[in-house]
Amino acid sequence: MSSPQDPSHKPSTGPERTTQQPPFAPRLQIIRKARNYLLVCFLTFPLYVYAVTELLGNGLDITWLMLGYMLLYAVFGINMSVKRCPRCHQQFFVKKYFLNPFRRSCAHCGLDFDHIHGEPQ
Ligand SMILES: [Zn+2]
**Mean pLDDT of the region 96-105:** 87
Indicate left, alpha or beta for 21 from its phi (over 0: left) and psi (-120 to 50: alpha). beta
- Who surrounds ion ligand 1 at CB < 5 A? 85, 87-88, 106, 108-109, 111
> From CA 118, how far away is CA 121, in angstroms rounded?
9
pLDDT above 50: residue 121:
yes
- Ligand 1 centroid to 19 CA: how many Å? 25
Look at residue 2 in the predicted model and tell me its pLDDT: 45
Give tens-digit pLDDT for 41-61: 889 999 999 999 999 999 999
- Banded model confidence at residue 68, pLDDT cuts 50, 70, 90: very high
Q: Decide: pTM greater than 0.95.
A: no
